[in-house]
Amino acid sequence: MTHRLKDIKLIVIDIDGTLVDQHGNVGEKTLQLAKELKKQNIFCTLSSARSFHYSAHIADDLEIDIPFVTLDGALIKGRKGEAVYRGTLKDSFVHKAISLAEDNYGKITMCDEFNLYVTPNNAVVKEYTKLSAPIKEIPDFTGVKDILEILIYCEDKASMKHIKHSFGFFEKLGVSLSVTKSPRNDYYLLTIKKKQSNKLESVKRLVKHLGFDKRNVAVIGDWHNDMPLFDFGAYNIAVQNAIPELKRKADYVTNSTNNEDAVGEVLELVKAHAAN
């Protein structure tokens, strides 16, 4: 099915586990070919769970001039600051989340475009997982604005279940709730975002903004949060180290892993088909 690559004008690339290697570096072949393809009006962009801050330097390296998707879809913004979409949560949702976390032994943090906010009472969240944005320590959450994502951590399953259930009314009003379990099984994580602030909906927004059709788009990923993206109808590419579920949905699986510049392999194929 690689013949479909001749129609590709936009390549949407996940970052961690896909674009960068285990040291966080982009492959040399990718860096070179992304710039060469841009001269042929074939553009690379990003779609990541990372914050804008932690994605922007990758966009700099690849010289991406179009907007890219961050926070798993909560923000679409370019290097020069132009925003296509912000999935800002209502203040009422934020206040409800703070109250539920405090009343049910949960630890809470939240982020806007630039920072992940942590209070002294919630400082332990820094030890839980890889955080998505630069940490800004504040005395309390009074006055925080323009929040794009809320994270609540609980060690107790019953507490997490109660928090999620208590947020059910708000879920109907426009928020998305997602509970995951840590790989080490030592905590549960509730992620709260505005509805349709996910990779799939945000890539749809970006593609429409850029004036492309889904047949002009290729998406590259490796992990569970890339699964919805593979339902868009674009040309789906899984890297060799991707989870089996994603590989089964892929139109093409790379021979290379992210540590072997798998994206460079894809860009080489796109360049070859564009030349024919």
Could you read off the pLDDT of 68-119 as tens digits, one per residue? 999 999 999 999 888 999 999 999 889 989 999 999 999 999 999 889 999 9
Confidence at residue 77, expressed as pLDDT on a 0 to 100 scale: 97
Band (180; pLDDT cuts 50, 70, 90): confident
Span 91-194 CATH architecture? 2-Layer Sandwich (3.30)
Question: What does the domain layout of the chain look like in residue ranges?
Answer: 2-86+197-275, 91-194
pLDDT of 18 strictly over 70: yes
Structure tokens belonging to residue 74: 């909560």
Nearest Cα to Cα of residue 69 among 82, 81, 88, 55: 55
Confidence at residue 128, expressed as pLDDT on a 0 to 100 scale: 66
pLDDT of 269 strictly over 90: yes
Phi and psi at 15, nearest 5°, equal: -95, -70
Crossing angle (nearest 10°) for helices 157-166 and 91-103 = 150
Q: 2-86+197-275 maps to which CATH number?
A: 3.40.50.1000
What pTM was computed for the model?
A: 0.91
Q: How far is CA 165 from the centre of its chain?
A: 25
- Does residue 192 contact residue 152 with C-beta atoms inside 8 Å? yes
Confidence at residue 265, expressed as pLDDT on a 0 to 100 scale: 98
pLDDT of 129 strictly over 80: no
Band (134; pLDDT cuts 50, 70, 90): confident
Cα distances from 262 to residues 19, 151, 216, 253, 267, in angstroms, run: 7, 31, 20, 9, 9
Candidate ranges 101-115, 133-147, 250-264; pick with highest mean pLDDT:
250-264
- Rounded to whole angstroms, the Cα distance separating 65 from 94 reads 33
- Rounded to whole angstroms, the Cα distance separating 36 from 40 reads 7
Confidence at residue 130, expressed as pLDDT on a 0 to 100 scale: 60
